[in-house]
Amino acid sequence: MKLIYVFTLCLLAGITFGSDDVINKATTKSPVTTPTTASTPVPSSSTPSTTEAPTTTTQAPPTSSSSTPTPTTTTPPPTSSTSPTTPTTTVPPSSSTTPAPQTKWVVFDPKSNVTCIVAEMEVTFNLHSGKTPYSIKINPANANAVGGHCGPSNQVLNVVWDTAEMTSSMTLNFTKSKNDYFISGFNLSLVHNTTAGLVASNFSAVNLTLYKTNVNTSYYCESVDLPELKNSNNETVDTSMKRFSVEAFKSDNKTTFSTIHYCSGEIPDIVPLVVGIALAALVLVVVIAYLIGRRRSQARGYLSM
């Protein structure tokens, strides 16, 4: 019985082993072989290959991804656009120069369009006031003719000037008598600027007959002195004029002087020069006449002999 049991086990084991072997053979495929074509090798004429040197590749160290970016500075290119240039023109030097100081006082009548008075002089006022006498000098360069009057028989020249100490004026009155004219009045007004206010001093002289000359003739004198003037405060002033030249009652529009009438004792230098030349010529003529007469008389004497 045991033998039958053992036999049965062996038979079952063999059957199991055989079935596994059959299964393995069925699943394992036989290798597929590709037929190779035998080719005749061709001898190569090239140089046998040499052993290549191994190439060593050194990898660059990895760069840190947290590198600080370099600041990019962008320089703007120079702009070629320029602002429009205004054409520069050279301004010629101005022909206007500082006006020359005036040398004459002129009174002009706008109604008749006539210059009636022309005057040129240097005036010095010597004032005797208290213990401090002083002098004032005026001329057409530092004093101006203001106002004035052009009448048929009376004309006025009014001159004013200002200083830090005072405001002053001088007035000359001219009177016409037939064909002559003369200075008939003179006035000097001084207004002092003092700490107490304005103090006026007036000096005047009237009913004068000074420097009489013909109409259409100017009067000239190298030096003249007006009479001494006195005011209500017993202050006195002496007035002297140098190179005194004046003409009133003019009938044209010119500012030049007409024919000059020189004051008494005022003889121009050309007069003695002309007289001297005339005398010298006369003496020369007399001498020549004498020599000619003497020669003729000598010639007659020789003939009589």
Sign of the dihedral through C-alpha 87, 92, 96, 97: positive
Q: Rounded to an integer, what distance in angstroms lies between the CA atom of residue 166 and that of residue 161?
A: 9
Query: Which is higher by pLDDT, 271 or 20?
Result: 271
The pLDDT of residue 289: 87
Rounded to 5 degrees, what are φ and ψ at 270? Answer: -70, -25
Residue 172 above 50 pLDDT?
yes
Q: What percent of the chain has pLDDT over 70?
A: 58
Ranges assigned E (strand) in 178-286: 180-194, 197-205, 210-214, 217-225, 229-230, 236-247, 259-262
The pLDDT of residue 57: 44
The pLDDT of residue 194: 63
The pLDDT of residue 276: 81
* 242-260 per-position pLDDT tens digit: 999 999 999 888 899 999 9
The pLDDT of residue 56: 45
The answer to whether 166 touches 127, Cβ cutoff 8 Å, is no
Name which of 97, 147, 114 is nearest 248 in CA terms: 114
* 43-102 per-position pLDDT tens digit: 444 443 444 444 444 444 444 444 444 455 555 555 555 555 555 555 555 555 556 667
pTM here is 0.56
Name which of 188, 121, 192, 180 is nearest 158 in CA terms: 188
Q: What angle do CA 224, 237, 266 make, to 5 degrees?
A: 5
* Domain ranges, ordered by start, for the chain: 105-262
* 107-143 per-position pLDDT tens digit: 998 888 889 999 999 999 998 876 678 889 999 999 9
Residue 32 above 50 pLDDT?
no
The pLDDT of residue 270: 61
Confidence of residue 231 (pLDDT cuts 50, 70, 90): confident
The pLDDT of residue 125: 93
Residue 291 above 80 pLDDT?
yes
The pLDDT of residue 269: 55
Token pair listed for 39: 């080719």
For the chain, helix, strand, coil in percent to 5 are 20, 35, 45
Token pair listed for 185: 């009045």
Q: What angle do CA 255, 259, 262 make, to 5 degrees?
A: 110
Question: Taking all residues of the chain, what is their mean pLDDT, rounded to a whole number?
Answer: 74
Q: How far is CA 280 from CA 53, 188, 269, 283, 286, in A?
A: 141, 50, 17, 5, 10
Residue 195 above 70 pLDDT?
no
The answer to whether 251 touches 259, Cβ cutoff 8 Å, is no
Query: Which is higher by pLDDT, 9 or 186?
Result: 186
The pLDDT of residue 66: 44
Class of 105-262 in CATH: mainly beta
Mean of the pLDDT values across residues 156-176?
91
Amino acid (one-letter) located at 302: Y
Q: How far is CA 298 from CA 50, 288, 289, 290, in A?
A: 162, 16, 14, 12
Mean of the pLDDT values across residues 187-205?
77
Sign of the dihedral through C-alpha 258, 263, 266, 272: positive
Residue 43, SS3? coil
